[in-house]
Amino acid sequence: MILNTISGRQARSSGNVTVSGKHMSKPLMQKIGFVPQENEFFSRLTLWDTLYFTAMLRIPECIPKDEKLKRVNDVIDMFDLRKCVNTVMGDMFIRGLSGGEKKRAGIACELLTDPNILLVDIVKIKKWEEQDR
C-alpha cells in the first residue's frame, strides 16, 4: 500500500511525498517505475510479445524501433529469460511462465522505460533459481 502511494498509483489521505526535497509532480512520477506483487499479463501472449508490446507502447516514439528492440533483448539477457521467450505468460488456467520468471518479466517490463527510480513490491525474496523450480 505504501509503495502504491509513493508511486502515485493510489491517492494519499494525508502527508506529502517528496523526492530529494521536491514534491511529487507528474513529470517526476513518470520517471518512477513500479512492479506490483502480482502483475497482470495477457495470459496467451508469449514473453517476447509482452516485452515487445510494452516497448512499443511505453518507450517514447522519438526512440527508433531498432533501439527499442535492443532494449528488449538486453532485458531478456539481463534477467536470463532467453530460454522462455516463446513461452506464454499463462495464468491459473493456462500453464506458462513460472512465478520467478513472471516476476523477472514484470521487472523487465518496467526497466524497458529506463526509470530513474524502480519500486519493486516483493513478498518473499528468494534466489531466482529457487523460485523457478
Residue 42 has a pLDDT of: 94
Which pLDDT score is estimated for 84? Answer: 96
In the beta sheet, which residues pair with residue 117?
Answer: 32
- Domain range 2-131, its CATH number among 3.20.20.70, 3.30.70.660, 3.40.50.1820, 3.40.50.300: 3.40.50.300
Which position has the grid cell 538486453?
Answer: 74
* Residue range 56-84, pLDDT digits in tens: 999 999 999 999 999 999 999 999 999 99
End-to-end CA distance of the chain: 29
For the chain, domain boundaries = 2-131
* Element holding 35 (H helix, E strand): strand 32-35
Tens of pLDDT, residue by residue over 15-40, are 777 777 877 777 777 788 888 877 88
Cell of 55: 516497448
Let me know: does 10 contact 4? Beta carbons within 8 Å: yes
Cell of 80: 536470463
